[in-house]
Amino acid sequence: MKRSLRAGKPAPLSDLVHRNLNMYALAATAAGVGALAMTQPAEAKIVYTPANVSITPGTTVPIDLNNDGTVDFNLTNWNSKAQSSGIVSSSLSAQPAQPGNAIWGYVNRKSHVVSAAALPAGFQIAANKRFHIFTNSMAGRYANAFEHEDTCRGKWQQASKKYLGLRFMINGRVHYGWARLDVSCNGNVSGTLTGYAYESIPNKPIITGKTKGSDIEDHTFTASAPEPATLWSLALGSPALSVWRRNQSIGIR
């Protein structure tokens, strides 16, 4: 007699298999969420503000890098004239306007005076000991009519498209930025602020002259998720899991 090929009821899974399947579901969910978190780097964004502001003698031009209504730096063009002595002097300087803000500068080895650096385009602004909370004149003119002397000094004299390296705070966190200026020393010192920018990601470097995107490599950790264990190996319990883990460690899929 031929036996009837009826579909029987599936055999009930043991309690051990149930427990291992539940453990697998929880582990797979946690691994998926963890892998997703590791592979989502923060988006870097450079915020650029174009400008065309003259810095004439006797004026101060504020810079609000992130346009939140708070002045972050001041560009001041000092000017004085003594009629009796015939001495005329003018000086352009940049100073932080808030605690924690600083300017990329250099220290004169002889005088120990700190001056704001006139940086070229393509320079990386990042964490560095060269940031200073006070800097001396960027460019200064001294003229003495009686002694027929008229000189202009400073790294920023006749500067064209040079950059200030800036560090400032947003909600207690460090951000980096730049301001682009043209400076003239023909007659009195004068300058023009032609634009400024900052990196929206805290502690992330910025390149002078860069106005959008970011060409700094993002080192956010993006490890790939491990090969998931099969339901069968997890259902079998710890012996099969040991084999699966060993295969993972030596690259066997």
If you write DSSP's letter for every residue of 25-87 in order, what string do you get?
A: HHHHHHHHHHHHHHT-PPPP-EEEEEEEEEE-TT-EEEE-TT-SS---EEEEEEEEEETTTTE
Do 132 and 230 fall into the same domain? Answer: no
23 located within any domain: no
* DSSP β-ladder status, 102-107 and 46-55: unpaired
Please tell me the total count of domains within the chain: 2
Give percent of the chain above pLDDT 70. 60
What's residue 140's pLDDT?
84
Contact 209, 163 (CB under 8 A): yes
| Mean pLDDT to the nearest integer, 19-34 | 52
Do 110 and 177 fall into the same domain? Answer: yes
218 located within any domain: no
pLDDT tens, 179-212? Answer: 999 999 877 889 999 999 999 999 999 999 999 8
Contact 163, 123 (CB under 8 A): yes
Residue 211 to residue 190: CA distance in whole angstroms: 25
- Mean pLDDT, rounded, of the chain: 76
Measured between its terminal Cα atoms, the distance across the chain in Å is 47
Do 167 and 232 fall into the same domain? Answer: no
pLDDT tens, 34-90? Answer: 444 443 445 669 999 999 999 998 999 999 999 999 999 999 998 776 555 555 578
Q: pLDDT band at residue 15, thresholds of 50, 70 and 90?
A: low
Is the predicted pLDDT of residue 239 greater than 60, yes or no?
no
Is the predicted pLDDT of residue 9 greater than 60, yes or no?
no
* Residue of 130, 174, 139 lying closest to 160 (CA atoms): 139
- Tokens for 165, please give them: 């390296």
Do 238 and 129 fall into the same domain? Answer: no
Contact 75, 63 (CB under 8 A): yes
Do 88 and 145 fall into the same domain? Answer: yes
* Residue of 54, 44, 31 lying closest to 176 (CA atoms): 44
Backbone angles phi, psi at 23, to 5 degrees: -65, -40
Is the predicted pLDDT of residue 112 greater than 60, yes or no?
yes
Residue 158 to residue 152: CA distance in whole angstroms: 9
Contact 90, 223 (CB under 8 A): no
Expressed as residue numbers, the domain containing 130 is 46-207
Which residue(s) pair with 167 in the sheet?
102, 176
Do 63 and 152 fall into the same domain? Answer: yes
Do 173 and 242 fall into the same domain? Answer: no
- Tokens for 35, please give them: 């892998």
What's residue 149's pLDDT?
64
Do 174 and 232 fall into the same domain? Answer: no
Residue 90 to residue 77: CA distance in whole angstroms: 7
Tell me the HSE value of 179 on the side-chain side, using a 13 A CA sphere. Answer: 31
Q: Which residues of 152-186 are buried (b: 16+ CB within 10 A; e: fewer)?
A: bebbbbebeebbbbbbbbbeeebbbbbbbbbbbbe
| Highest mean predicted confidence (pLDDT) among 6-15, 71-80, 117-126 | 117-126
What's residue 21's pLDDT?
52
Residue 96 to residue 140: CA distance in whole angstroms: 19
203 located within any domain: yes
Give the least confident one: 53-57, 59-63, 95-99, 143-147. 143-147
What's residue 221's pLDDT?
29
pTM: 0.66
Q: pLDDT band at residue 137, thresholds of 50, 70 and 90?
A: confident
